[in-house]
Amino acid sequence: WRETMAEGAILLRGFALPFEDRVLPALREVIAQAPFRHMVTPGGYTMSVAMSNCGAAGWVTDRSGYRYGRLDPETGRPWPALPSAFLALALAAATEAGYPDFRPDACLINRYEPGAKLSLHQDKDERDHSHPIVSVSLGLPATFQFGGLNRNDPVRKYALRHGDVVVWGGPSRLFYHGVTELKDGDHESLGRVRINLTFRGAL
């Protein structure tokens, strides 16, 4: 159940399953306070993935660029706090992968409906790239792809399923990655969506 995808990238199959009873209700509470929205890229495209955030800071994009901010631009209020169930899951996964000191302050929540995708990109809006990133997949399965440090490096594909967790640190932290168009399906607890929680040390 523990697989190395690349140097520093560890896939923990099903690691989130024991946390699901606490994580799913907490997710619903966060979304009630900070609803999913389709953000616009600096290039003017509306993203097919709907997003929200919790934690001290949230990742946002609009015509002026990508950044982390303490306020939800839709409501003008601070992002909801990181639920204790989210924090417990992120810390347990990071510890399992060899990062016992991980202290996430931002959790991006991505919602994929059938057809939604995330093009190949790097995560580099965080201040300190020495922190790992912990990613939790929930709901419908997705095809995740990742390459290397250059956009044209060859990509490898992985199926990420409900409950899978990936911890990205070290050399893999800045690898290009993305998610191919979500296929339709029906997940027993989440329905026709995939949710991804991405925990980061952003500030």
Sites of contact with Fe ion (CB under 5 A): 123
Applying CB under 6 A, among 179, 182, 193, 202 the residue interacting with ligand MD3 is 179
Rounded to 5 degrees, φ, ψ at 25 are -60, -40
CB-closest chain residue to ligand MD3:
196
Single out the segment in contact with ligand MD3 by CB under 6 A; choices: 20-28, 39-47, 169-177, 181-189: 169-177
Nearest distance in Å: CB 69, ligand MD3:
16
Hey, which residues between 97 and 136 contact ligand MD3 (CB under 6 A)? 108, 110, 118, 123, 133, 135
CB-closest chain residue to Fe ion:
123
Q: Tell me, what amino acid is at 129?
A: H
Per the CB < 8 A criterion, the answer to whether 4 and 173 are in contact is: no
Hey, which residues between 137 and 156 contact ligand MD3 (CB under 6 A)? 146
Applying CB under 6 A, among 52, 173, 199, 202 the residue interacting with ligand MD3 is 173
Nearer to Fe ion, 17 or 203 (CB): 203
Q: How far apart are CA 180 and CA 52, in angstroms?
A: 20
Structure tokens that stand for 4 in this block: 């190395």
Q: In terms of Cα–Cα distance, which of 34, 169, 39, 5 is closest to 107?
A: 34
Nearest distance in Å: CB 117, ligand MD3:
10
- 3-state SS string for 172-183: HHHCCEEECCCC
Single out the segment in contact with ligand MD3 by CB under 6 A; choices: 27-35, 85-93, 165-173, 184-192: 165-173
Cα 86–89–93 angle (5° rounding)? 140
Nearest distance in Å: CB 64, ligand MD3:
19
Per the CB < 8 A criterion, the answer to whether 107 and 86 are in contact is: yes
